[in-house]
Amino acid sequence: MNIYKLQYDTKAVGDADLLAKGTYEVVTEEGVTQEVYRNGTQAIVFLNKIVEIPATYDKDGNELTPPVYYSGVFYDLMTTEEYDFGINEIFPVDCKHSFLGYEKNAEGTDVEPDELINE
């Protein structure tokens, strides 16, 4: 099983790349549109933004300082197939998300999320 950790500038860009690579397909049947996994895809998990520095709050839950996020949005892809995601593939050492039954950093190596982005 392959687990890819992916980072894109926006969700629209990420969705388009995953669609173009055939990891999923948009199916419309009887007026209902669904995104259906294809070609060995077991799961696509959209993680949205990931917090680098957490916000702070008072005792009532009011925000004192806002969170600081890593740039872009993140996905985890589990698949039986191999893909070349180029600069969108990242290798975090302290993954914020994992798949149930897998090691937390499965397939991760030693690069922080925002260090691989080519500006």
| Residue 112 DSSP class | -
Given a contact cutoff of 8 angstroms between Cβ atoms, the answer to whether 87 and 115 are in contact is no
Stretch that binds another protein, among 15-23, 37-45, 83-91, 110-118 (CB under 8 A): 37-45
Nearer to another protein, 88 or 95 (CB): 95
Cβ contacts of 39 within 8 Å, gap of 6 or more: 22, 23, 79, 81
Stretch that binds another protein, among 13-21, 34-42, 83-91, 111-119 (CB under 8 A): 34-42
Residue type, 5: K
* Structure tokens that stand for 118 in this block: 């080519």
22 is a contact residue toward another protein (CB under 8 A): no
SS3 of residue 5 by DSSP: strand
Chain residues in the site for another protein (CB under 8 A): 1, 27, 29-30, 32, 34, 36, 38, 42-43, 45, 47-49, 51, 54-55, 57, 60-61, 63, 67, 76, 78, 95-104
